[in-house]
Amino acid sequence: MEAKFDQEEALAIEVEEVRSHLSHSQAQLASEPDLQQQLAHLKGQLQALNDPRTQHRLLQQELKQQANLDVLQRQTQQALLDVQSTIADLDRQLATFTTLSDQIREQQSLREAHRAYYQQYLEHQQSANSLKGRQQQLQEAIAQLENLQQQTKKFAQKKHARRNLRSYKS
């Protein structure tokens, strides 16, 4: 049971780490509009200059940055999908523990409900264990009783024979 608690704690820690990574990835995605605002601002400045060379160079940089942003966005989205998949796996693993507390309480309740019966069982078990010895003692006592009865019978017969002998002599 303790192993399940340890496993549950480890899974909870892992879920927190994955959620932290997810928050970081979402923050990166959220910062992307800031970059696009900066690009829009630069475009506005370029148009204000009406310099074709600078405009051409800025457009090339913008295309390069856009490609980098697209790659970053795909990577972030993939990381987000990976994190969501990991969270789903961890949630499935944690699902086995959702009813663990209820099961523990139920088992404790059953143990308490049957504690008196168990104590009674232990008391009767001691009696049952001593029963064999008691039966042997009973058999020995019966044998002694039969022996004493036979001796008493023999003694009574001898006594009766002596009386008969005395009365015959008299």
For the stretch 122-142, pLDDT in tens is 888 888 888 888 899 999 999
Query: Which of 11, 10, 24 has the alpha carbon at shortest distance from 88?
Result: 11
Tell me the helices (H) and strands (E) count for the chain, helix number first: 3, 0
Where is average pLDDT lowest: 32-41, 77-86, 96-105, 148-157? Answer: 32-41
At residue 24's C-alpha, the angle toward residues 19 and 27, to 5°, is 125
Block residue for tokens 């036979």: 150
Question: CA–CA separation, 81 vs 78, rounded Å?
Answer: 5
Neighbours of 25 (CB within 10 A): 20
Q: For residues 14 and 90, is the Cβ–Cβ distance under 8 A?
A: yes
Res. 49 pLDDT band, cuts 50 70 90: low
Amino acid occupying residue 68: N
Question: CA–CA separation, 167 vs 51, rounded Å?
Answer: 165
Query: What's the pTM?
Result: 0.36
Q: What is the pLDDT of residues 70-120, one digit of tens each?
A: 888 999 999 999 999 999 999 888 888 888 888 999 999 999 999 999 999
